[in-house]
């Protein structure tokens, strides 16, 4: 699955405004991000297998903590107005003119982070992309308060741009995201407000143009980061700022989430052991099923051969064996008829079994209707106790005893095949 990352510029859309963007394939791995710049009309097209992610620059966002009242997540219609009221005193602009978005797991936090940006600016860029045929499936922040946790640190410093116009961005899970102009950075990181605890758990990453300059100013070796490499971390996070009024195309976004998850599982090297394990499991199941089917067929063939052998030994005149159990039943029936013996389906056998099965004191029926293998007894009204005793006794003798309307029906439990 492909991902088209488009960073929204700070200015409003225009014919000459360019969008930094990159197309990331599923198997991209750790390679440098192929960043490009183009106006909205010249951006790459996105097919059904492409997820379009709008990346909000760190300078366009402000971060705030909100004391969310318990149970508010059950009242989605009031959530937006509640956030505006909670953050009204912390914002410089009218809350109605701002877009607010909660952190992914905000329902499990009493003080979740809220990302805030200009509503009109964001809406204008999304409409500009929509006009050129690009539907944004997700809106992700360039940096978020939990960025440092991915590297096992509490505070992350990210140096972007160059020494003259670049910015040093700081991310902390408890203090949010804030930045300093690179040209204002003092030696030894003075003015950044870093405590000794911060310096002990810090991760510094910088783009090639400022990695040496940042290392010198902070007196700490900065980790080299290729241009736009932090975009991949932003896209890989669970953050999605497409909430409230911008929560459009929800079904399409959910489909892209599943597609991205499937693509990650199929191509990511991290999941390679799991994929191998899954293939081994499937292969084992396939081999086991084939072995079980082979054994079952072998047992069935052995049973058929045993039946055929018994048939030939019992009735030597049998020339062709097609269905040994059926042929044996027919031969036994033929012998019985030849010898004049009664079968279980004859009237005498059925009446005898019925008479023996009746409990003492039961008034016998005064009439019945006989058909080969069936005995109908009308106007017979046994009690529930007598009925249970009759059914139990007849079942033991190989007969069924059931009621059909006002008539009791007696049939053989295992019908004997009639002579053709």
CATH for 101: 3.30.420.380
Q: State which of 335, 352, 374 marks the end of a domain.
A: 335
Which residues does residue 411 pair with via DSSP β-bridges, in sequence order? 374, 400
Provide the domain count of the chain: 4
Question: Residue 203: inside a domain, yes or no?
Answer: yes
DSSP letters, 238-297, are S-----GGG--SHHHHHHHHHHHHHHHHHH-GGGHHHHHHHHHHHHHHHHHHHHHHHHHH
CATH for 399: 3.30.980
Question: Residue 418: inside a domain, yes or no?
Answer: no
The answer to whether residues 122 and 259 belong to one domain is: yes
* Local confidence pLDDT in tens for the 420 residues of the chain: 788 999 999 999 998 999 999 998 876 665 678 899 999 999 998 887 888 999 999 999 999 999 888 877 777 778 888 999 999 988 988 999 999 999 998 888 888 999 999 999 999 999 999 999 898 989 999 999 988 777 778 889 999 988 888 999 999 999 999 999 988 888 777 778 777 777 788 889 999 989 998 888 888 889 999 888 899 989 988 899 999 888 765 455 556 556 666 666 776 777 788 888 888 889 999 999 999 999 999 998 888 888 888 888 888 877 787 788 888 878 877 777 776 667 777 788 888 888 888 888 777 777 888 888 888 888 888 888 888 888 888 888 888 888 888 888 888 875 443 333
The answer to whether residues 116 and 252 belong to one domain is: yes
The answer to whether residues 20 and 121 belong to one domain is: yes
The answer to whether residues 84 and 69 belong to one domain is: yes
The answer to whether residues 123 and 196 belong to one domain is: no
Question: Residue 230: inside a domain, yes or no?
Answer: no
Q: How far apart are the C-alpha atoms of 90 and 128, rounded to whole Å?
A: 30
Question: Residue 417: inside a domain, yes or no?
Answer: no
User: What domain range is 330 assigned to?
Assistant: 276-335
Question: Residue 108: inside a domain, yes or no?
Answer: yes
pLDDT for the residue numbered 414: 59
Which residue, 345, 366, 390, 119, is CA-closest to 246?
Answer: 119
The answer to whether residues 25 and 113 belong to one domain is: yes
Residue 93: count other Cβ atoms within 10 Å of its Cβ. 11
Question: Residue 110: inside a domain, yes or no?
Answer: yes
The answer to whether residues 32 and 122 belong to one domain is: yes
The answer to whether residues 202 and 262 belong to one domain is: no
The secondary element (H helix, E strand) that includes residue 338 is helix 324-339
Question: Residue 355: inside a domain, yes or no?
Answer: yes
The answer to whether residues 68 and 101 belong to one domain is: yes
Q: How far apart are the C-alpha atoms of 174 and 149, rounded to whole Å?
A: 11
The answer to whether residues 159 and 183 belong to one domain is: yes
Question: Residue 328: inside a domain, yes or no?
Answer: yes
pTM: 0.60
The answer to whether residues 38 and 98 belong to one domain is: yes
Q: State which of 189, 222, 255 marks the end of a domain.
A: 222
The answer to whether residues 246 and 139 belong to one domain is: yes
């Amino acid at each position: 699955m492909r991902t088209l990352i488009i960073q929204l510029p700070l200015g409003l859309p225009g014919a000459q405004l360019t969008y930094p963007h990159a197309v990331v394939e599923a198997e991209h791995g750790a390679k440098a991000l192929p960043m490009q710049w183009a106006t909205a009309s010249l951006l790459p097209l996105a097919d059904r297998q492409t997820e379009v992610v709008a990346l909000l620059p760190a300078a366009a966002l402000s971060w705030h903590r909100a004391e969310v009242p318990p149970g508010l997540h059950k009242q989605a219609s009031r959530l937006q107005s509640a956030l505006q009221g909670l953050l009204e005193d912390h914002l410089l602009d009218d809350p109605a003119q701002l877009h607010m978005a909660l952190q992914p797991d905000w329902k499990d936090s009493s003080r979740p982070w809220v990302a805030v940006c200009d509503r009109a600016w964001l809406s204008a860029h999304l409409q500009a992309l929509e006009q050129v045929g690009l539907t944004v499936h997700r809106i992700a922040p360039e940096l978020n308060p939990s960025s440092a946790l991915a590297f096992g640190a509490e505070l992350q410093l990210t140096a972007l741009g160059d020494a003259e116009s670049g910015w040093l961005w700081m991310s902390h899970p408890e203090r949010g995201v804030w930045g300093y102009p690179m040209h204002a950075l003092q030696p030894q990181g003075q003015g950044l407000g870093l405590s000794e605890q911060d310096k002990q758990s810090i991760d510094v990453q910088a783009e090639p143009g400022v990695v040496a300059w940042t290392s010198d100013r902070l007196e700490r070796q900065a980790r080299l980061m290729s241009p736009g490499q932090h975009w991949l971390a932003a896209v890989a996070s669970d953050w999605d700022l497409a909430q409230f009024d911008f929560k459009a195309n929800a079904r399409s976004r959910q489909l892209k989430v599943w597609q991205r998850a499937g693509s990650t599982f199929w191509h990511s090297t991290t999941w390679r052991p799991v994929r191998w394990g899954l293939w081994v499991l499937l292969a084992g199941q396939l081999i086991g099923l084939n072995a079980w089917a082979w054994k079952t067929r072998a047992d069935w063939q052995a049973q058929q051969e045993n039946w055929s052998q018994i048939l030939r030994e019992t009735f030597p005149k049998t020339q062709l064996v097609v269905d040994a159990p059926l042929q044996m039943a027919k031969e036994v029936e033929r012998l019985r008829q030849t010898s004049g013996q009664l079968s279980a389906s004859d009237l005498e056998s059925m009446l005898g079994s019925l008479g023996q099965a009746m409990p003492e004191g039961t008034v016998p029926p005064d009439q019945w209707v006989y058909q080969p293998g069936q005995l109908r007894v009308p106007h017979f009204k046994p009690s529930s106790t007598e009925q249970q005793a009759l059914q139990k006794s007849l079942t033991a003798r190989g007969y069924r005893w059931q009621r059909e309307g006002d008539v009791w029906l007696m049939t053989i439990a295992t019908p004997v095949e009639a002579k053709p």
